[in-house]
Amino acid sequence: MTRLWTLIAVFAASPAFAAPGEPFFSLRNTDFVVVIAFLIFVGVLVYFKVPGMLTGQLDKRAETIRAELDEARKLREEAQELRASFERKKAEVKDQAERIVAKARADAEVAAQQARVDLEASIARRLRAAEDSIAAAEAGAVREVRNQAISVSVGAASELIAKNLGADAAGKLIEESIQTVNARMH
């Protein structure tokens, strides 16, 4: 209501009241007609509660904006929580990856150590096999040389015996050999 009085006071102080000639409150005065039309228009707006509807709509809009802001704050907080969660997961995954790499390095070191041990054992086996093979070849060569020496010695001895030994001495040697064989057999 105070607004209405304020509007009336503003129009009452207009230059139309100070104009000479036509009285202000005459329908021939266009300023007066405009003021009356404006007052009727404002009265119709007040009667149909248009200012209340406008303020209601503005209040609804303000509530909608407030709700949207609250929703935006809530979404921002959720986004920050998700980001923090992803950062934690990222740190966990990084730690896990570092542990996996460290374990892989340790496993590789153990495998390399085991490979060295296995290689040394393999080399030792091959050396033993080579030494055994050399020893066997050496023993075979010694045996063959011995057999050859025996064959040569027997051949030389038999030639010598055949030249130097008479029939009586040969018979005596044969009997001694039979007795030696007989003694060893029984």
Torsion of CA 30, 33, 37, 38, to 10 degrees: 60
Question: How confident is the prediction for the chain on average, in pLDDT?
Answer: 85
pLDDT tens-digit readout, 46-79: 899 988 999 999 999 999 999 999 999 999 999 9
CB 14 within 8 A of CB 31: yes
Lowest mean pLDDT among 35-44, 88-97, 162-171: 162-171
Lowest mean pLDDT among 3-7, 84-88, 161-165, 181-185: 3-7
CA distance 107 to 113: 10
- Judging by beta carbons within 10 Å of its beta carbon (0-12, 13-18, 19+), is residue 35 exposed, middle or buried? buried
The contacts found for 151-156 with CB under 8 angstroms, 24 or more apart, are: none
Lowest mean pLDDT among 7-21, 74-88, 89-103: 7-21
Domain boundaries, the chain: 2-92, 111-185
The percentage of residues in the chain with a pLDDT greater than 90, rounded to a whole number, is 49
pLDDT of amino acid 34: 92
pLDDT tens-digit readout, 90-133: 999 999 999 999 999 999 999 999 999 999 999 999 999 999 99
Mean pLDDT, to the nearest integer, of 125-149?
Answer: 88
Nearest Cα residue to 3 out of 33, 42, 32, 35:
42
User: Tokens in use for 124?
Assistant: 């030792």
- Judging by beta carbons within 10 Å of its beta carbon (0-12, 13-18, 19+), is residue 31 exposed, middle or buried? middle
CA distance 129 to 124: 8
Chain Cα centroid distance, residue 168: 103
Mean pLDDT, to the nearest integer, of 161-177?
Answer: 74
What single-letter DSSP state applies at residue 21?
S
CA distance 68 to 90: 32
| Residue 45 burial (CB count, 10 A) | 13
Query: Taking CA 170 as the corner, what is the angle to CA 164 and CA 174, rounded to the nearest 5 degrees?
Result: 145
What single-letter DSSP state applies at residue 185?
H
